[in-house]
Structure formats: C-alpha cells, structure tokens
C-alpha cells in the first residue's frame, strides 16, 4: 500500500465531522505525524494492517500532544511505543500515564454508532486499562477528534454483548465525551480506585534470571555440578573433564558432540581431534558469539560447560532439588540461560532424575504470565531427562510446573 502525503485527498467514507463531533475536543495533527505514520505502516504486509497502523500512529501522537498540553506525559518515549504496541492493530494498550494504564482506540469512521473492543483488551491483565479512549482520525481535516472514554470499573456487573468475532460491543452513547474529565481523573484520581484484573503471577516470588548473570541466586538454586554430583554422567552433561583421565564413556560422548558440530559446519574445516582444550574452548566461544543457529549455540554451550564451565561467555546454569515437594520423588529442575547478541535470553529447562530414570508420565509444563500453557513435555519410559528450549525478552514472566500424578511443583521466573 502506498500512503500518500497528508496534504493530498484520502478515500474517506464520511469526510465531514458530525454535528455531535463539532462539540468535541479536537487535536491538530502535525505534518511530521503523517511522515512518521507512513514510515511505520510499512512494517506490515497487508493493506488493511498498514492502514490501521497508520491511524493508530496518528492517534498516539495526538494523544501525546493532548497530554502535554495538560502537563501529563506518557511514561515511555512515543517512538519506542510505536515499534512495539502500535503493531497490535486492534488498539494501543497498555499506555502508562502517571499511575494509570490507558487503552487507545483509533478509528477512521464510527459506522453504526457502536464500538467493538477485543475481549483480551478488557479481560486480560496484560492489556486491561483503567481508561479506554476512542479517537476518530479525520484525515481531510488533519485532526484527531476526542470521541469519548470510559473507565474499567464502569463495566463491573454489566453484561457485555459479544459479537460473532469474540469482541465486546459498546454503544458510543455510553462513552463520556468530556475530555476534561479524563484529564482530571489522570491528575487527581488514585489508580487503586479502579481495580483491574490481576496477573496470575503478580503475588508470586520470582527468580530473576538476569541476576544470575551477576552471580545472584536464591539459596535453593545450586550449581549443577554440586546437585548432580552423585548421578551417572549424562549426554550431554557430565562432570567436568580432565582430558588425561576422562573415562571411555565421557570420551565417546565428547567425540560424538564434536562430530555433530563438525558435520553441521560449525567448526569450519578444523578437525576437532587436532585441537587442544584451550583451542577448542576458543572455537566454541567464537561459535557462541557468531552463529545464528540456536541448536548449534546450545551444542557449543553444553560442550563448553564440559571443558571450561566457568568461562564468562557460557551463560549460567543452576538446579533445584524438587524431591521434598514432589511426593519424595528424587528429581531436579535445571535452568540454563544463555545471553544472545540481540539482547534476548535463550533459556533451557531440564528435569533430571537424581536416581535411575524419570518416572513415566512426569510432566514439564511452561505457563505464561496469564497462566496459559506455553508447552508441555512428558517423560517416557527410561528417559534420562526431559527438556524444553525457548527465547525470551528481558522483563518477560513465566512459570514452570513439574507434575507427577497429583503432586505439582511450580517455580516462577522473570527474565
């Protein structure tokens, strides 16, 4: 879709502002708003999405201008918000203003005098807001019109009508059209007066994974080598290697791992058998810092844990004994984190038996901050471990459950 400069005409179904809208507050749209909206809309591939991004961006800049005129500010820079939240398309939420969360809804035309809001924007703790603000972007007039707002607590006890697409439907007549009332609420109301749905993880004690990179751990999280010291070596984890005294089983494990890396091209033309321990360590560190292949990075990390576990490039791994909480079943949960070049964090979760094999049907389950399932891995007969790998952003919250029959242990994390 090729968006035209703001000064040209746009195909608007109803270009005139209604009589009711003439009584509403308007915000003039500056030329640079249109330029930035055009640039940002190109991040999407479909015409419909590009157009909604364009409208969302203009409305967000208009809101920032409106707030500034009232000595109120968004807690984040507008342009950083645009690159993350405006692409949501359905609405821009949550926007933090002072102690409040706002949900901004931008429309070009108001159609049949009703407003559809995606269900998650009201029910989800991630998106629910204290105030929902509707703006109409009138391109021909180069203005955004403040149509009205409503408070989240006004929905309590109301049977919201749901459409066939799962959205909630409100009549525009239910919105408060007085922009000054919103400004007064933002300045003088206590946010605790409007109760939002609570995050499932909000009251839990989190283990902060990025603190592990600073050697800060809760007492229960032990070094892997210490907790798993009495169990037999496993592929690919085993006790630290002494190249001169390692046993045949460890040697075969190492050679197999190296062969896998060599076959994938990760070691280039170098023959792993010809490398000294120090040279191999350098090769693996370089691989960690340059490859874009996640499996190769984890292979390199795990092998580096074998030969140089204290190297600063190798990330961190810790384990916790869950036996006392899981009906006495001797298992441990290991969490390993590996920083990525793009500032994200690669995470590896493993459940180990401390004796023998894992019980059949033991489950490793990941949940998001809303308590929704992200993954589930089930142990089979004679499994040495079960695992799951994923990537997260700083600030992401999740929980991990280890479940066996009626017993469940849950650990909570924030990246």
Tens of pLDDT along 241-260?
333 333 334 444 445 555 55
Q: In this predicted model, which residue has the larger pLDDT, 324 or 362?
A: 362
Look up residue 356 and give its DSSP letter.
S
The DSSP secondary-structure symbol of 109 reads -
Q: What is the tally of structural domains in the chain?
A: 3
- The CA distances from residue 28 to 25, 79, 120, 142, in Å, are 10, 19, 31, 6
Closest CA to 357 of 247, 249, 251, 234: 234
pLDDT, position 237: 37
Whether the pLDDT of residue 18 is over 60: the answer is: no
Position 407 in a domain: yes
Which pLDDT value is given to residue 264?
A: 57
Give the H or E element holding residue 189: none
User: Are 86 and 160 contained in the same domain?
Assistant: yes
pTM as predicted: 0.50
Answer yes or no: do 203 and 332 share one domain.
Answer: yes
- Residue 95 is encoded by which pair of tokens? 């926007």
DSSP strand pairing (92-97 vs 114-118): unpaired
**For range 23-31, the mean pLDDT:** 90
Q: Would residue 8 count as lying in a domain?
A: no
Please state which of the ranges 76-85, 196-205, 227-236, 397-406 shows the lowest mean pLDDT.
76-85
Is 5 contained in some domain? no
Whether 174 and 120 share a structural domain? yes
Residue-wise pLDDT for 212-241, tens only, equals 888 888 888 988 888 887 665 544 433 333
Average pLDDT, the chain: 78
Q: What is the CATH number of the domain that holds 323?
A: 2.60.40.10
The answer as to whether 134 is a domain residue is yes
Whether residue 87 is predicted with pLDDT greater than 60 in this model: the reply is: no
186-205 pLDDT, tens digit each? 999 999 999 888 765 555 67
Of the candidates 292, 308, 324, which is a domain's last residue?
A: 308
Residues of the domain holding 376: 198-232+312-415
- Give 2's pLDDT tier (boundaries 50, 70, 90): very low
How do strand 161-162 and strand 167-171 relate by DSSP bridges?
antiparallel
Regarding whether 269 and 125 lie in a shared domain, the answer is no
CB neighbourhood size of 255 (10 A)? 12
Range 138-145 average pLDDT: 93
Q: What's the mean pLDDT in 275-296?
A: 76
pLDDT digits (tens, 9 = 90+) for 61-71: 999 999 999 99
- Is residue 62 assigned to a domain? yes
User: Are 370 and 401 part of one and the same domain?
Assistant: yes
């Amino acid at each position: 879709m090729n968006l035209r400069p703001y000064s040209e005409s746009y195909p608007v179904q109803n270009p005139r502002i209604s009589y009711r809208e003439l009584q509403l507050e308007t915000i003039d749209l500056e030329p640079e708003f249109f330029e930035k909206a055009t640039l940002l809309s190109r991040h999407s591939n479909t015409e419909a999405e590009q157009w909604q991004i364009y409208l969302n961006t203009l409305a967000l800049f208009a809101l920032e201008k409106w707030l500034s005129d009232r000595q109120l500010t968004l807690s984040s820079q507008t342009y950083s918000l645009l690159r993350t939240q405006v692409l949501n398309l359905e609405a821009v939420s949550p926007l933090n203003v002072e102690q409040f969360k706002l949900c901004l809804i931008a429309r070009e035309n108001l159609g049949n005098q009703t407003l559809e809001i995606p269900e998650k924007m009201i029910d989800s703790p991630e998106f629910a807001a204290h105030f929902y603000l509707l703006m109409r972007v009138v391109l021909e007039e180069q203005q955004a019109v403040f149509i009205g707002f409503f408070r989240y607590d006004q929905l309590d006890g109301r049977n919201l009508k749901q459409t066939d697409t799962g959205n909630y439907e409100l009549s525009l007549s239910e919105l408060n059209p007085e922009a000054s009332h919103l400004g007064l609420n933002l300045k003088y109301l206590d946010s605790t007066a409007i109760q939002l749905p609570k995050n499932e993880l909000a009251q839990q004690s989190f283990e902060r994974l990025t603190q592990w990179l600073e050697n800060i751990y809760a007492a229960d999280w032990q070094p892997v080598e210490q907790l798993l010291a009495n169990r037999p070596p496993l592929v690919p984890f085993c006790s630290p290697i002494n190249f001169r005294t390692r046993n045949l089983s460890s040697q075969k494990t190492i050679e197999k791992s190296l062969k896998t890396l060599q076959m994938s091209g990760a070691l280039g033309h170098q023959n792993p058998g010809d490398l000294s321990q120090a040279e191999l360590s350098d090769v693996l560190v370089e691989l960690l810092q340059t490859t874009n292949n996640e499996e190769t990075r984890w292979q390199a990390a795990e092998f580096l844990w074998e030969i140089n576990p204290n190297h600063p490039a190798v990330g961190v791994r810790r384990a916790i004994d869950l036996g006392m909480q899981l009906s006495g079943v001797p298992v441990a949960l290991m969490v390993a984190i590996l920083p990525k070049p793009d500032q994200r964090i690669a995470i590896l979760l493993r459940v180990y038996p401390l004796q023998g094999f894992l019980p059949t049907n033991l489950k490793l389950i990941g949940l998001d901050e809303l308590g929704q399932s992200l993954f589930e891995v089930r142990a089979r007969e004679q499994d040495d471990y079960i695992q799951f790998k994923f990537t997260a952003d700083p600030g992401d919250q999740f929980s991990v459950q280890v479940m066996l029959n009626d017993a469940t242990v849950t650990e909570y994390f924030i990246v």
